[in-house]
Amino acid sequence: MTTSKSMHLIDRKRIVIKLGGSMLSGLSDIFFEKFIELQKEGHELVIVHGGGPFINRSLLANGIESRVDEGIRVTCEKSMEIVKHILISEVNTALVHQLNDKGIEAIGLSGFDGHLLRCTVLDLERYGLVGKINKVHEDVLVKLLASGFVPVVSCIGSTTSGTALNINADTVASEIALALGADRLLLVTDTPGIQVSNEMQRNATPSLVAQWIEEGEIYGGMIPKVTAAIACLEHGIPEVHIADQHLNGTIIGFKEVFI
Ligand SMILES: Nc1ncnc2c1ncn2[C@@H]1O[C@H](COP(=O)(O)OP(=O)(O)O)[C@@H](O)[C@H]1O
Ligand SMILES: CC(=O)N[C@@H](CCC(=O)OP(=O)(O)O)C(=O)O
């Protein structure tokens, strides 16, 4: 016979939630309420955050040229200093504070903490100091989750010699979701899902996504999101949502899900 306690354990899901820089400065109470609801349902939640618009502003203020190639920032040494400072010292701390303030016990981490994101350089000539994740040491996250904390991860990786590398936050979220064997990846952004011909899509499959990229319907910052989604689906994560902070959006899977 299944007891209600074991039912609860069976139902518990590990969900990786990526918060895009596009929506971080406008996090609403509704988002925090939904987050707390998921916690009360017993799910284990990990947050990964970006901060693209904050980085753009700081680069501009410092007179450093900013260029993005298919959603990946080309990162020179001077930019890297700014990226590291903005993501770790500003965005991560502000987000951890906001969560703690709402009664959510959050702990901030970068890829340096517990060797979380071990990287090598992706393509020095094309992207500069951008990391390719070779290994996620997810044990630090598992320990924090087991102690009831919400890990809040910024998208800075480290090489074995301690050099900081910039990584797109959608990529970090998908690699962490895969390493944790998450049940769901939720990419929260400033739009309620994928829009095609002016219509929001409730469902998508990897082949439809490939077609929409080909047709130019998906471009810019949406490209790393759908790439991350497909990598997760191909490695066994059942569903990826691309949604706004009210969690309305597109579900990407191999089959259509009617919601
Ligand atoms: N088909 C699409 N549907 C919706 N948004 C799209 C699409 N293609 C490109 N985008 C762009 O992607 C943006 C989200 O990516 P990005 O700005 O990088 O967000 P984040 O900071 O949340 O990662 C949207 O605001 C929109 O401008
Ligand atoms: C390599 C790379 O592109 N890094 C990103 C990291 C931040 C990010 O991904 O932020 P969003 O989630 O807001 O887009 C960047 O420098 O903008």
Give, using CA atoms, the residue closest to atom 10 of ligand 2.
Answer: 50
Which range marks the domain in which residue 72 is found? Answer: 13-252
Determine if residue 166 is labeled as part of a ligand binding site. yes
Nearest ligand 2 atom to the CA of 130 is 1
pTM score, whole prediction? 0.93
* Domain presence at residue 7: no
* Domain presence at residue 257: no
C-alpha torsion 209→213→217→223, nearest 10:
90
* Domain presence at residue 68: yes
pLDDT of the chain along its 259 residues, tens only? 444 434 444 467 999 999 999 999 899 999 999 999 999 999 999 999 999 999 999 999 999 998 999 889 999 999 999 999 999 999 999 999 999 999 999 999 999 999 999 999 999 999 999 999 999 999 999 999 999 999 999 999 999 999 999 999 999 999 999 999 999 999 999 999 999 999 999 999 999 999 999 999 999 989 999 999 999 999 999 889 999 999 999 999 976 554 4
* Domain presence at residue 38: yes
**Cα–Cα distance, 256 to 236 (Å, whole number):** 16
Which structure tokens are listed for 55? Answer: 């980085």
* Domain presence at residue 106: yes
CA angle 25, 72, 180 (to 5 degrees): 75
Per the structure, the count of domains in the chain is 1
* Domain presence at residue 2: no
Kindly report the CATH number assigned to the domain that includes residue 20.
Answer: 3.40.1160.10
Give the closest residue to 86 by CA, choosing from 75, 71, 99. Answer: 75
Which structure tokens are listed for 78? Answer: 């001077």
**Cα–Cα distance, 13 to 5 (Å, whole number):** 15
Q: Torsions phi, psi of 171, nearest 5?
A: -65, -45
8 Cα: distance to centroid of ligand 2 (angstroms): 36
